Amino acid sequence: MDKPKSNLDFKLMSLTYKFRDLRLPRMDILKEVGIEPGFHVLDYGCGPGSYTIPLAELVGESGKIYALDIHPLAIQRVQSIAARKQLTNVETICSDCKTGLPDNSVDVVLLYDTLHALSDPNGVLEELHRILKPNGVLSFNDHHMKEDEILSKITGKGLFRLSREGQATYNFLKE
């Protein structure tokens, strides 16, 4: 079972992300994924919501964003921002692996900067495979991992195949 960062570490990470997001807007990265209005998207390891909020705008009122994180402060932060911005299409999930979502219910999963830190990466990939719709997209980025390691970890079990490599992301299709 994975353990959340300390509250101080989470707060420092959140502050760092604010500066990062000013320099490199998250919407620029999300454009590589091909998310459309009405999509259901899981932001796995959502942190302070850097991707969650732009996602909510992309999918519109007919779509749904699931923001999952192990850290209670992450969940509180996303809930607070969603409430303040009146985003009714954002739902939070506090978990270290299981999403609680139905099989084949999600169009896209974002797995950004998370896999390297997981104690059971294969269990998480199996869960993400389970919830993705047929031809669903796993959008991946982890600057802690090299390209050959990324491809090996994500495609190694036959759950996903590389579909497209963008400037900032790798997009994999569910097999």
3-state secondary structure 71-136: CHHHHHHHHHHHHHCCCCCEEEEECCCCCCCCCCCEEEEEEECCHHHCCCHHHHHHHHHHHEEEEE
Alpha carbon separation from 7 to 45, 50, 93, 99, 147 (Å, rounded)? 15, 18, 18, 23, 31
CA distances from 96 to 32, 33, 143 (A): 27, 24, 21
Residue 1: predicted pLDDT: 47
Q: Is residue 121 part of a domain?
A: yes
pLDDT digits (tens, 9 = 90+) for 47-89: 889 899 899 999 999 999 999 999 899 999 999 999 999 999 9
**Which pLDDT does position 29 carry in this prediction?**
87
> What CATH number is given to the structural domain containing 134?
3.40.50.150
Domain assignment present for residue 45? The answer is: yes
175: its two tokens: 């097999």
Name residue, tokens 């302070």.
Answer: 48
Within a domain: 2: no
Structural domains counted in the chain: 1
Q: Is residue 1 part of a domain?
A: no
Per-position b or e across 5-29, b if 16+ CB within 10 A of its CB: beeeebeeebeebeeebeeeebeeb
Residue 23: inside a domain: yes
- Supply the range of the domain harboring residue 74: 7-174
In a domain, 42, yes or no: yes
Query: CB 135: neighbour CB atoms within 10 A?
Result: 10
Determine the Cα–Cα distance for residues 45 and 114; give it in Å rounded to an integer: 6
Residue 37 has pLDDT above 80, yes or no: yes
The whole-model pTM stands at 0.88
Identify the H or E element spanning 53: helix 52-59
* Residue 127 lies inside a defined structural domain of this protein: yes
pLDDT > 50? residue 175: yes
Structure tokens, 157: 């079990």
User: Is residue 164 situated within a structural domain?
Assistant: yes
